[in-house]
């Protein structure tokens, strides 16, 4: 009799598939659960801004991310507060800047300036009145350089302590923390060139991310 043989075979296959489906679902859920818990344990809950190591009392915790290609906006966190992000709806393509009272971490103002189709004078009008000693956090998104003129590059270099503002070019990524009027170069800066040979995305370099502790201003 051939029919029961075929039926047997079909039933076996169905049973095996069901077991396999169950097993793969069970194990992958379990695995995700473990990975997820691990991330929370080691990072996001314990420290402000989700940074790996806590900061001392004289420092602010910070995390700053550039945009990723033209798809994901930048994000700026200081002392446990997201200051600029897509969710806050206060970021844009070009250069994003937050000015902060370095004594108490209060946000004084934030702005974003389109450096591809915008007007660099809007950026200059925004930054020029800010007084000495105020902290600045800067993050690029998509294209930060086309409209940057000498005056704006000089502001970032001479006034905010940037090493890279003079070299910034089309679709480079750049993040910076500086203090208005600082005499030294900022140790809190990263830059990556848009280079077809090394780009992570087609047309853009990898996003930048920097986290750590930045000293509060001591009166």
| Residue 130 or 175 having the CB closest to ligand NAG | 130
Residue 103 interacting with ligand NAG (CB under 6 A) = yes
The residue of the chain with the least Cβ separation from ligand NAG equals 101
Q: In whole angstroms, give the CA distance from residue 79 to residue 30.
A: 34
**Residue whose C-alpha is closest to residue 185's, from 208, 209, 164:** 164
Pairing of strands 189-192, 209-215: unpaired
| Residue 8 or 103 having the CB closest to ligand NAG | 103
| Residue 104 or 166 having the CB closest to ligand NAG | 104
Q: What are phi and psi of 155, to 5 degrees?
A: -60, -50
Residue 198 interacting with ligand NAG (CB under 6 A) = no
Total of chain residues touching ligand NAG, rule CB under 6 A: 3
| Residue 79 or 143 having the CB closest to ligand NAG | 79
Among the residue ranges 40-48, 83-91, 98-106, 194-202, the one whose residues contact ligand NAG (CB under 6 A): 98-106
Shortest CB 36 distance to ligand NAG, Å? 39
Cα-based distances in Å from 9 to 16, 45, 101, 159: 11, 52, 74, 78
Cα-based distances in Å from 165 to 88, 98, 143, 152, 156: 26, 17, 13, 9, 6
Among the residue ranges 34-42, 44-52, 53-61, 96-104, the one whose residues contact ligand NAG (CB under 6 A): 96-104
| The residue count for the chain | 219
Q: In whole angstroms, give the CA distance from residue 82 to residue 32.
A: 27
Q: Do the beta carbons of residue 76 and residue 105 sit within 8 Å?
A: no
Q: In whole angstroms, give the CA distance from residue 121 to residue 103.
A: 29
| Residue 89 or 131 having the CB closest to ligand NAG | 131
Residue 101 interacting with ligand NAG (CB under 6 A) = yes
Among the residue ranges 2-10, 48-56, 100-108, 187-195, the one whose residues contact ligand NAG (CB under 6 A): 100-108
Shortest CB 125 distance to ligand NAG, Å? 18
| Residue 101 or 194 having the CB closest to ligand NAG | 101
Shortest CB 157 distance to ligand NAG, Å? 23
Residue 104 interacting with ligand NAG (CB under 6 A) = yes
* Strands in 58-171 per DSSP E: 59-65, 75-78, 81-84, 94-100, 107-113, 135-141
- The residue ranges that bind ligand NAG (CB under 6 A) are 101, 103-104
């Amino acid at each position: 009799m051939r029919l029961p043989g075929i039926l047997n075979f079909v039933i076996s296959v169905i049973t095996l598939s069901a077991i396999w489906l169950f097993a793969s679902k069970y194990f992958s859920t379990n695995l995700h659960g473990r990975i997820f818990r691990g991330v929370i344990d080691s990072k996001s809950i314990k420290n402000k801004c989700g940074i790996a190591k806590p900061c001392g009392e004289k420092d602010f915790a910070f995390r700053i991310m550039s945009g990723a290609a033209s798809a994901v906006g930048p994000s700026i966190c200081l002392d446990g507060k997201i200051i600029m992000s897509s969710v806050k709806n206060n970021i844009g393509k070009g250069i994003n800047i937050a000015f902060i009272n370095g004594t108490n971490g209060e946000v004084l103002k934030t702005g974003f300036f389109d450096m591809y189709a915008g007007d660099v004078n809007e950026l200059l009008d925004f930054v020029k009145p800010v007084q000495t000693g105020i902290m600045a956090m800067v993050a690029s998104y998509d294209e930060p350089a086309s409209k940057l003129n000498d005056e704006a590059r000089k502001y970032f270099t001479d006034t905010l302590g940037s090493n890279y503002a003079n070299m910034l070019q089309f679709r480079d990524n750049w993040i910076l923390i500086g203090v208005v009027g600082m005499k030294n170069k900022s140790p809190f800066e990263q830059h990556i060139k848009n280079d077809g040979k090394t780009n992570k995305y087609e047309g853009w370099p990898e996003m930048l991310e920097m986290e750590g502790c930045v000293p509060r201003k001591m009166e």
